[in-house]
Chain A
Amino acid sequence: MSQKISIRIDGELIHANSDQSILEAAHAHGKFIPSLCHMKGLTAVGACRLCIVEVAGVGRLLPACTTPVQDGMSVTTQSDKLRRYRKITLELLFAERNHVCAVCVSNGHCELQDLAQKLGVTSIRFPYTYPKVPVDLTHKKFTLDQNRCILCTRCVRVCTEVEGAHVWDVAGRGVGSRMVCELNRSWGESRYCTSCGKCVQSCPTGALAEKGFAVEEMTKRTEPISRLTDLRGANV
């Protein structure tokens, strides 16, 4: 049973539901906490670690997306340490794959790019990895370019939890992790893909895109998916 409770976010008193996460409570009050793997309507997985916050009385940093609010909790979303760590996280993502913003379909509409600007990342201190990763253009409507993938698994979750097809998953481990379609089929040969495009719309970067879009043309819309899950009452 959900109860109304009070918490403080950056000193401001906020009323929240006891079944909400810190991130949900913050968003409900228009408070910004950066995140990339979180999407309203999908299970929170706590993977990107950008939404880490400080909670008074807790010695370690907690991810806002998977930490439930508790009555009387006092949350700090901005501190010097959090800012430094979040910048490192973003820089690591840029260094991991080949994010060439200038020639990306999502240039100008990319959550990773926006966040870098917002958090003041103007260069990457780590050496770039320049990995060779697959690009899958076999689907008739969509493209997968793993050069831009940040492994947030939003596509995996939206396909499993909302569409019910579970076409996507992650293969390999560590820096060798790659998106795979079904049991490593090319997307065009997928047996379960319904071509609904939910994965494309939920992808925060240009990794998943519609065909026929050139640089800067691909915009994403996650709201219809979230509205759908709201209506289903499947909001976990």
Chain B
Amino acid sequence: MRKITDLASFNDAREAGLAKLLPPVPRIAIGMGTCGSGNGAEAVYHAFADAINHRGLSIQLARTGCFGFCAAEPLVNVWIPGKPLVILQRVQPNDVPAILDDVAAGRVPSELALCRIDEWDHITGHVKYGSGLTEIPLWNEVPFFKGQKKIVLRNCGLISPGDIEEYLAVGGYQALYKALIDGNPASIIESIKAAKLRGRGGAGFQTGSKWEFLRKAQADQKYIICNADEGDPGAYMNRNEIESDPHSLIEGMIIGGYVMNATEGIIYVRAEYPLAVHRLQTAIQQAEECGLLGDNILGRGFNFRLQMVEGAGAFVCGEETALIRSLEGKAGRPTPRPPYPAQSGLYGKPTNINNVETWYNVPPIVVKGPAWFTETGSPKSPGTKVFSLVGKVTNTGLVEMPLGTPLKTFVYDVGGGGTGGRAVKAMQTGGPSGGCIPHEMFDTPVDYESLAQIGSIMGSGGMVVMDEDNCMVDVARYFVEFTHSESCGKCIPCRVGLDKSLYYLNRITHGKGTDADLAVLDELSRMIRDTSLCGLGQTAPNPVLTTMRHFRHEFEDHIRASRCRAGVCEDLALSPCENSCPLHMNIPRFLQLLKEDRLEDAFVSVVMDNPLPASTGRVCQHPCDDRCRRTGIDESVNMREVHRHIADAIYPTERFDEMAARVAAMRKPPTGKKCAIVGAGPTGLACAFYLSILGHEVMVYDSNPDAGGMLRYALPDYRLPKSVLDREVELIRRAGVQFTFNVKVPGDISLNDLDAQYDAVFLAIGTWKESWIYLPGTELAGVIPALPFLEAVAKQQPVPLGRRVAVIGGGNAAVDSARTALRLGSEVKIIYRRERKDMPAIPEETEAAEAEGAEIVFLATPHRIVGSADGRVTAIEAVRTRLGEYDASGRRRPIPTDEIVRFNCDTVILAVGETVDLDFAKASGLKIKENGLIEVDRYTLETSRSKFYAGGDLITGASNVSNAMGYGKKAARNIDKRLMGVKRWCEVFPQLEYDQAAPAHPSDSRRHHVQEVEAEERARTFAEATLGLATVEAMEEACRCLRCDVRNGDH
């Protein structure tokens, strides 16, 4: 390679590079960072090389770095002269022949196209690729790239990192050239200062000031160091930058050396980054050969040598003083500052240390000037920052955004929201040194100060997204385990403090923590933060402090209820399905019992876990499906339908009496205690059943003539036939529960009466009041609320329903109303203001409604109901909405547009949610929360009045059957504990022996879906719409279970 000594030779090299970048023949470049190679880019490259060689095609093949969209790797750039550069995604070796066919024919392959680039601003240079191909989106029209501004990553994924000429072609080393020709180092420092460039390693110190310290230091030798010891779990920005564009780093450092009057530069890079090490080595060598590094650079008399040192992987060596000790060959332990490295650093000489990304910002600032730089970002933190967006987010990858961009842009816009459409819970920034930020705070702008204010840090740029499957206690424990093992041991707070923090966190995740532990952990964490010697210790408690602040309820769940909602903490959950079930049914047990052909035992197992198994088997929201580990293979086990099958195999048959007797025989001897339950809905029934089994005398009061609550009076017959419910209630009755119907509490019987007659009272009335919305026209005849409508149908009372019905809402009540109206012969439209995926109704129900002929209008907010002169509904008008910003729930807020749509109808059913009857809550004299719900202790369900408990919708607002029953079960446990003074709860459950081995060969059959009656047929009748699983199907489902509950003690 020719030495560059003057402008002429500089331009020659540049031209040579441009000829490679934009050759006269097509160019195919494969993204081969570690991320690309990990996804098979190596094989893709060789497939291209072999095929081009074999076919004798005139195509230039190159390797580039990574363009940032890791989720879509391997990425392949295809450029045909005159046309835009097209980036193909997820290219596999078997795609290669077709791609080459296209390119050879002068066509750009469009099937795999991710985006196109017409021209690219390399900041230091500009490349025009071509135009056309408008059917492919421009790169910054792709959601992942929208809003990104590539300054640091200006060259990544576009040029070959192994070729200095390509770097020169896009304006590389121009900044160095300018700096050396101008010969005014002081003005460069002024530029950096004016640009307000701040250290990208995380602390955010002003780079210009830091440079000035070193420049002013007097010494025979000075050093500049690049800190490339990137060690945070989940962060890989620096690796990618070096792998994709090593020369930018070298150029930045040479400029730094020149400005600060240092002739020795050292890059301290992790040995775990072999590709980065290799590419840097090559780049340094090329720069030396070109005369850009070494003696007399560009003939301007400046000498600068650069060497690379591989760090052995200690996290603490990211701390500058420890890094310096490591370079000196000593153990990597930090030393106190002062003295600062700028006074006494490597070998006691003045030293400057900057992060990789800080150096990348130098050449653009030198070329474009500070004013250009400060245009981007926020006033206090200008410029951009590269983040690695990873975890439970759809689009993962490297993201370069202007500083000051709010967190929600990262998660929802760039990241595309949670994986699999799940709700995002939190984000961890700054790795183990950072904090967990709850989704409610995603409005926070990402800059040094804002993140510090909420207890996190920017750090080097890791962003780990977490959803409901992440246990925040475990997250804190994980990060403390990391910093604990990386602590150097020099200072006491970090060495011993983290050891004890880890002890408490482990104890809590094992369910053995106490409330006192939380207080000690909090004080200890503050002490470690405030007194540790270096940044590692000072920031290590951040994950603990932030999770304890924002997710305290999760810590309390672990401590007080031995529950880990995420199902991560193994000691606290039997299996993911059991953990997600509000009733905590032992699902693996009944599946196994069925598999062992022990139907009666399976029935006992089911019914003792869930006294309404046939009803819940039909209408449960089945959260277990989302958690089933079988989804990792194909689809979840159809657990709900299996327990429905088990229940249906007993209830309607002659075996019922025998089984009911078996259950009744499990009743404990009478305790002499009396319990009253108000409300015979699912919550009350569940509580009554368990209290009776525990030997108490139980009386259930209800204002209706029969038991079941919402199950009987709100759920239509086609979902849950009354005959099914009748049998379940009969079993509960035979278990000893007594009922008094047609009695109102507190109307006919006051709470004081109950107090006088009973030892404990459980209040479990549901949400029987329909929410009303303000809408012009709701006073018109033909506007009816959903619940009374469903109740009237259930009670076979006449309902005034028109021919054309509009239902407002998106919950289960809306869909039930729609399907009921269809069965009564009406045409039905459902109007819902958000998207389909936001509908709270069970998806299967929505689909069934559509199949039966209901039309759903999404993204429309009703704004008035139109009436005729005689006061009858004639139409409904709705405002079309479009999706706006993400709200705190992680759903996009509907924004009204100018478009108004009108639907003619004669009936409007309002199904916008149910609330508790406030009058009851008020009349009860119990303490009420602001939202009108009764206040209870989260863990014991006790109300403000002694011996009164409350549960279900009364304390949560409208929920669903299984959640409600979960409260009933929990209340029974707590009431019994209070009445008896000892824990007897686990004695309730039958001891059933069953196989405790994970299946060697779980059935490989696909999930069996429930059989449905044909839509046309079922839409005409109230007969049950689904048929349940056949015996053989249920059995096969049981065989599909992977038995996550089995503990073999291997780990």
Contact = CB atoms under 8 A, between A and B. Distances in A.
A and B touch in the complex (CB under 8 A): yes
A48 B497 CA distance: 12
A174 B486 contact: yes
A78 interface: no
A66 interface: yes
B531 interface: yes
A225 interface: no
A88 B488 contact: no
A45 interface: yes
A126 interface: yes
A175 interface: yes
Contacts of A172: 489
A89 B314 CA distance: 25
B490 interface: yes
A100 B492 CA distance: 19
Given A89-B531, A129-B499, A49 B493 contact: yes
**Could you say which of A47, A150, A174 has the most chain B C-beta atoms within 10 Å of its C-beta?**
A174
A85 interface: yes
Nearest to B314: A173
A111 to B, nearest CB: 14
Interface string B303-314: 000000000001
A88 B487 contact: no
Contacts of A176: 489
B336 A92 contact: no
B338 A66 contact: yes
A229 B706 CA distance: 94
Contacts of B488: 173-174
Interface in A29-85: 44-49, 52, 60-61, 63, 66-68, 81, 84-85
A68 B338 CA distance: 8
Contact of A170 (B316, B335, B489): B489
A177 interface: yes
Nearest to A89: B492
B484 interface: yes
Given A47-B533, A85-B531, A92-B500, A174 B491 contact: no
A25 to B, nearest CB: 16
Interface stretch (B77-85, B290-298, B519-527): B519-527
A93 interface: yes
B657 interface: no
B524 A174 contact: no
Interface in A157-180: 169-170, 172-177
Contacts of B489: 151, 170, 172-177
A81 B496 CA distance: 19
A11 interface: no
Interface in B494-524: 495-500, 503, 520, 523-524
A95 interface: yes
Nearest to A62: B336
Contact of A49 (B484, B485, B492, B503): B492
Contacts of B496: 92-93, 95-96, 175
B223 to A, nearest CB: 22
B336 A174 contact: no
Nearest to A85: B527
Contacts of B497: 88, 92
B532 interface: yes
B331 interface: yes
B530 interface: yes
Interface residues of B, number: 31
Contacts of B499: 96, 129, 174-175
Nearest to B494: A174
Chain A interface residue bracket vs B: 35 or more
B505 to A, nearest CB: 13
A47 B530 contact: no
A52 B487 contact: no
Contact of B520 (A52, A125, A150, A170): A125
Contacts of A47: 490-492, 533
Nearest to B501: A126
A28 B930 CA distance: 62
Contacts of A61: 530-531
Contacts of B500: 92, 95, 126-127
A92 B492 contact: yes
A84 B527 contact: yes
B336 A84 contact: no
A89 to B, nearest CB: 5
A85 B491 CA distance: 14
A149 B533 CA distance: 20
Contacts of A96: 495-496, 499
A60 B314 CA distance: 26
Contact of A88 (B335, B338, B523, B532): B523
Contacts of A177: 489, 495
A48 B485 contact: no
Interface in B96-114: none
A54 B703 CA distance: 68
B910 to A, nearest CB: 56
Interface string A185-196: 000000000000
Interface in B453-510: 484-493, 495-500, 503
Nearest to B332: A173
B533 A49 contact: yes
A158 B223 CA distance: 30
A89 B497 CA distance: 8
Given A45-B336, A68-B338, A173 B531 contact: no
B332 to A, nearest CB: 9
A44 B338 CA distance: 11
Contacts of B520: 125-126
A26 B972 CA distance: 65
B527 A127 contact: no
Contacts of A126: 500, 503, 520, 524
Nearest to A177: B489
A93 B492 contact: yes
Contacts of B524: 88, 126
A174 B335 CA distance: 15
Nearest to B483: A174
Contacts of A85: 527, 530-531
B338 A174 contact: no
Contacts of A169: 331
Interface string A109-130: 0000000000000000111010
Contacts of A84: 523, 527
Contacts of B485: 174
A170 B331 contact: yes
Contacts of B487: 173-175
Contacts of B523: 84, 88
A48 B491 contact: yes
A126 B489 CA distance: 18
A129 B520 CA distance: 17
Nearest to B528: A88
A19 to B, nearest CB: 12
A146 B866 CA distance: 87
Interface in B329-357: 331, 335-336, 338
A5 B291 CA distance: 52
A61 B336 CA distance: 13
Given A126-B500, A177-B489, A151 B495 contact: yes
The 4 A-B pairs of least Cβ separation, nearest first, read: A177-B489, A46-B336, A92-B496, A66-B336
22 contacts: A47-B492, A49-B493, A66-B336, A67-B338, A85-B530, A85-B531, A88-B523, A93-B492, A95-B496, A96-B499, A125-B520, A126-B500, A126-B503, A127-B500, A173-B486, A173-B488, A174-B485, A174-B489, A175-B487, A175-B489, A175-B495, A176-B489
Given A173-B488, A175-B499, 20 more contacts: A45-B490, A48-B491, A61-B530, A63-B336, A68-B338, A84-B523, A89-B531, A92-B493, A92-B500, A93-B496, A127-B500, A169-B331, A172-B489, A173-B316, A173-B487, A174-B486, A175-B484, A175-B489, A175-B495, A177-B495
Interface of B: 314, 316, 331, 335-336, 338, 484-493, 495-500, 503, 520, 523-524, 527, 530-533
